């Protein structure tokens, strides 16, 4: 796991966006895995600037990580809508190339299986953008999730529902109890896993993910098994890392030829 500590959320966004735009330059029809929530917003903002400066994203494909189950179609906090606003429209992606699991399908389990098929048929995810929950979830793979699971329905923990109530007028009763999420197994299949985290509220989860033992109680620890996991964090989110000096040394002594 490569751990890059930068001063603030904007620098996290700049760093992550540079990795993503470099991939798109090399592979214009790249398949991105996109996260929602607040963590990747500075990344999407920085990427938007690169697109304005001429990066061609017309052939880029995107697959969302997860979706709530039970919100009406078009609900402003459904991830279909968040992805449309924060990713598709902001970056100017082709909407036909952007996919979000269907949280209101008649047969939700079948929609999960179909989502895995769509990812496979697109050739797999080249780079998966991830945030991390304060309880160590990635996607909505909550503590105790299978570390080899695929896209499926999960029950959100009270902690995640409380954390996300801010998107629902601070009204916990409006936060769905269930979701569809790519599994850890799906996420581990991505060519690169690029996790961004900012703020002190993520410091414990980041330390557990990077330096704790691998286990289902912090599902993000599964990224220790990923061949190309890149973790970009600001000072606050990095504040409980024990091995910080080493990470900074690696960052500052990166060979020129290494992406």
Q: Which two three-digit tokens encode residue 21?
A: 């735009």
Q: Which of 37, 101, 136, 219 is the binder for ligand F6R (CB under 6 A)?
A: 37
Within 13 Å and on the Cβ side, how many CA atoms surround 231?
Answer: 31
Distance CA 178, CA 187 (A): 19
Window 75 to 114, contacts with ligand F6R (CB under 6 A): none
Number of neighbouring beta carbons within 10 Å of residue 165: 15
Q: Which two tokens stand for residue 226?
A: 């990923």
Shortest distance (Å) from residue 18 CB to ligand F6R: 20
- Please give the Cα distance from 227 to 247 (Å, whole number): 17
Find the binder of ligand F6R among 75, 99, 137, 152 (CB under 6 A).
Answer: 137
Residues in the interface with ligand F6R (CB under 6 A) total: 14
**CB 66 to ligand F6R: min, Å:** 5
Q: Which residues are CB-contacts of 164 (< 8 A; sequence separation ≥ 6)? A: 37, 156, 175
Of residues 35 and 119, the one with the C-beta less far from ligand F6R:
35
| Residue 35 binding ligand F6R, by CB under 6 A | yes
Nearest distance in Å: CB 252, ligand F6R: 27
Collapse the DSSP code of 197 into the 3-class scheme (helix H, G, I; strand E, B; otherwise coil) and give the result: strand
Return the residue of 21, 36, 128, 145 that touches ligand F6R, per CB under 6 A: 36
Q: Which residues bind ligand F6R (CB under 6 A)?
A: 35-39, 65-66, 131-133, 137-140
């Amino acid at each position: 796991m490569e751990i890059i500590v930068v001063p603030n959320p904007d620098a996290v966004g700049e760093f992550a966006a540079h990795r993503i735009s470099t991939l798109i330059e090399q592979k214009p029809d790249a398949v991105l895995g996109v996260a929602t929530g607040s963590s990747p917003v500075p990344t999407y903002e920085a990427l938007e600037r690169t697109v304005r400066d001429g990066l061609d994203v017309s052939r880029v494909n995107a697959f969302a990580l997860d979706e709530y189950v039970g919100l009406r179609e078009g609900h402003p906090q459904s991830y279909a809508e968040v992805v449309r606003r924060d990713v598709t429209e902001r970056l100017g992606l082709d909407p036909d190339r952007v996919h979000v699991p269907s949280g209101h399908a008649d047969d939700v389990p079948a929609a999960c299986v179909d989502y895995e098929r769509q990812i496979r048929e697109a050739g797999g995810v080249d780079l998966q953008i991830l945030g991390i929950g304060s309880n160590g979830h990635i996607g909505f793979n909550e503590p105790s999730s299978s570390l080899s699971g695929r896209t499926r329905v999960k029950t959100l923990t009270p902690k995640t529902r409380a954390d996300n109530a801010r998107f629902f007028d601070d009204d916990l009763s409006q936060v769905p109890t269930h979701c569809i999420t790519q599994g850890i197994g799906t996420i581990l299949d991505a060519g690169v896993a690029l996790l961004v985290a900012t703020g002190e509220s993520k410091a414990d989860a980041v330390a557990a993910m990077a330096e704790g033992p691998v286990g289902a109680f912090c599902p993000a620890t599964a990224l220790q098994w990923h061949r190309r996991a890149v973790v970009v964090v600001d000072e606050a989110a990095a504040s409980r890392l024990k091995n910080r000096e080493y990470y900074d040394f690696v960052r500052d002594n990166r060979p020129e030829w290494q992406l």
